[in-house]
């Protein structure tokens, strides 16, 4: 691989990441959410109640980030936290009715964002993208 191609590839990935996160922030703001909080809500919607350490692992976030997000989402009424049975140091986090309704709204937003992101691509290319991108994520993580 030559430097010109490597530069173009790295720049495209960087710009896509920044643009996608910015667009996500625009879509989440009217819901009172910041990027990252939606992932926590969707994880709870998908998996049910989780211990904060499990959320940290599932989302690839540091525990202090999860603690901050859960505090904000709890204050907004979207989740509730309770001491974990058998371990009062751990907190079990679960969605409230408000959180479940918000997760449904996020799902609709995410469909729209995905459609915006792949607009103009062939259906075959769009279908292949998740696998390609996850392979790239694995490559970068393996190199760490």
Mean pLDDT for 18-46 is: 96
pTM: 0.88
Mean pLDDT for 39-52 is: 96
Which strands sit side by side in the sheet containing 50-51, from one edge to the other? 50-51, 87-95, 79-84
| Angle (deg, nearest 10), helices 123-143 and 97-118 | 110
DSSP codes, 25-59: HHHHGGGT--TTHHHHHHHHHHH-SEEHHHHHHHH
At residue 75, the pLDDT reads 97
Between residues 15 and 84, the one the model is more confident about: 15
- In which band, very low, low, confident or very high, does the pLDDT at 120 lie, cut at 50, 70 and 90? very high
Residue 91 in 3-state DSSP?
A: strand
**Least confident window among 11-15, 41-45, 88-92:** 88-92
Between residues 84 and 43, the one the model is more confident about: 43
Per-residue pLDDT at 29 exceeds 90: yes
Per-residue pLDDT at 22 exceeds 90: yes
DSSP-derived secondary structure letter, 78: S
User: What are the structural domains, with CATH classification, of the chain?
Assistant: 3-117 (1.10.10.10)
């Amino acid at each position: 691989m030559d430097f010109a191609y490597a530069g173009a590839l790295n720049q495209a990935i960087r710009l896509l990441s920044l643009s996608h996160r910015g667009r996500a922030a625009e879509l989440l703001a009217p819901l009172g959410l910041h990027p990252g909080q939606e992932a926590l809500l969707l994880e709870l919607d998908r998996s049910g109640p989780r211990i904060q350490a499990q959320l940290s692992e599932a989302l690839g976030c540091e525990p202090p980030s999860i603690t901050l997000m859960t505090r904000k989402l709890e204050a907004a009424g979207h989740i509730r936290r309770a001491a974990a049975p058998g371990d009062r140091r751990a907190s079990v986090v679960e969605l409230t009715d408000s959180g479940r309704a918000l997760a449904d709204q996020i799902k609709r937003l995410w469909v729209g964002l995905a459609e915006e992101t792949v607009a103009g691509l062939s259906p075959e290319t769009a279908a292949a993208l998740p696998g390609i991108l996850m392979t790239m994520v694995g490559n970068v993580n393996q190199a760490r």
